[in-house]
Structure 1
């Protein structure tokens, strides 16, 4: 299994997808009534697709998974580029911090970060912070799912085995997960030969659970991690 997609619910997938594609320098893959998809490739590291799927109403807060963009010495220019593309500044109670907090055209919060040693070789997305009731527990869960490994100095933060690409950072949640589906989630892809039932059993054994929404026949399976964050497992290509 490997991490393949970052998926956004969007009222206007094309508008939101083009915003992120331009800001991150991605390569467009698809633009259809079913959504918009663009690809971010990190030299020497993973390839991640950003997928924007239509929903009838604006997604609700809170945002439990968001993007931290690499800024560093270029922070102000990244902020300016985002604002020019349709982002806005957000106050989420962050106070006086060295990073900038913005909202994309559908008010998904994201941050443009200051320089940190851990962000070397991440590409334009520095980190994917994910809310968790128990970050160390959930880091183990996501390490098993993705094959990513913990940073030497932080067991709650995972990175692709190449040591390139964005970090997956499990962060202490400010409040338990409510009933609403996360507006942004991650997709995993099975490798050829992997047994979907064995994967499902492994997820449940590690504290996750499978969901069975009434969405018709799907080619993928939907789960929640131990903190209630949704993710999908897609069949092998």
Structure 2
């Protein structure tokens, strides 16, 4: 199942405090190098994990958070700015959503009202850049157990309860150039890590071979568009 949204930040404490307040998370871990908080929407839940890195966010976000704004979009934006977010211009032009950055500089969006965003909770969607949305959707369906649902992107997946955020596979503006600042973790049934890794590989994933990806209890993979995806023990 899909368990974690993992975000990198230079200051997990400050960034974690922001996201905890922004999303109403239940705090699980508060350490200098790691924040973990849980989002629960109905019977589905996801953990937001923030791990320490030394580098500032590079340009380009292949996976980011779209927050639910709806009819109260501007009110939501002002609340987030009050918590420490700032407005961000990434060349989005005249669009109905608002682009912000968290205290560490990670970009996210506050979305306008959309029918597909019913029962999502505070995170409306997880847009993920893909070189082939249909191909990537097959991989993520296999490893998460999420199902196809109505959405905005070419292919949208969602928890089987049809509650919580949408995973939107979106056409990429260009090839992946570096390690993603945000990625997803999946956890198998007890004892099934090797089987889930093999299932992912059979659906087009590949093992990451860089030194930073090796030697962990989890297995670092790349999806069929190069985005990092971890299989937890």
Query: What is the TM-score normalised by the length of structure 1?
Result: 0.93
Aligned position for 2:80:
82
> Is 2:199 the partner of 1:207?
no
3-state secondary structure, aligned to 1:112? strand
In the TM superposition, what are the counterparts of 1:60-71 in structure 2 within 5 Å?
60-71=58-69
SS of corresponding position for 2:168: strand
Q: Deviations over 1:128-154 (max 9, x none)?
A: 000000111111111111111112577
Total equivalences in the alignment:
231
> In the alignment, what sits opposite 2:116?
118
Helix, strand or coil at the partner of 1:218? coil
In structure 2, what is the Cα distance between the partners aligned to 1:143 and 1:14? 33
Query: Equivalent residues in 2 for 1:5-16 (5 A)?
Result: 5-16=4-15
Matches within 5 A, 1:155-170: 156-170=155-169
Instruction: Specify whether residues 219 and 193 from structure 1 end up closer, same or farther in structure 2 by C-alpha distance, changes over 3 A only.
Output: closer
Q: Is residue 105 from structure 1 mapped to residue 79 from structure 2 by the alignment? A: no
Shift of 1:217: 3.2
**Deviation of 1:193 (Å):** 4.0
Specify every segment of 5 or more residues in structure 1 that has no aligned partner in the other structure, as ranges.
none
Normalization by structure 2: what TM-score? 0.94
CA displacement at 1:61 relative to structure 2: 2.4
In structure 2, stretches of 5+ residues that fail to align are none
The 2-side partners of 1:148 and 1:50 are apart by 18
Match of residue 194 from structure 2: 197
- State the distance in 1 between where 2:70 and 2:118 align: 10
Q: Which runs of 4+ in 1 moved over 6 A?
A: none
Q: Name the SS for the 2:37 alignment partner.
A: strand
Helix, strand or coil: the match of 2:124?
A: strand
- Structure 1 Cα separation of the partners of residues 76 and 185 of structure 2: 27
Pair 1:128-2:123 in alignment: no
Q: In the aligned structure 1, how far is the partner of 2:25 from the partner of 2:210?
A: 32
CA contact (8 A) 1:139 1:155 kept: no
The answer to whether the 8 A contact 1:5-1:188 is kept is yes
Quote the Cα distance in structure 1 between the aligned partners of 2:70 and 2:14: 27
**3-state SS in 1 of match to 2:8:** strand
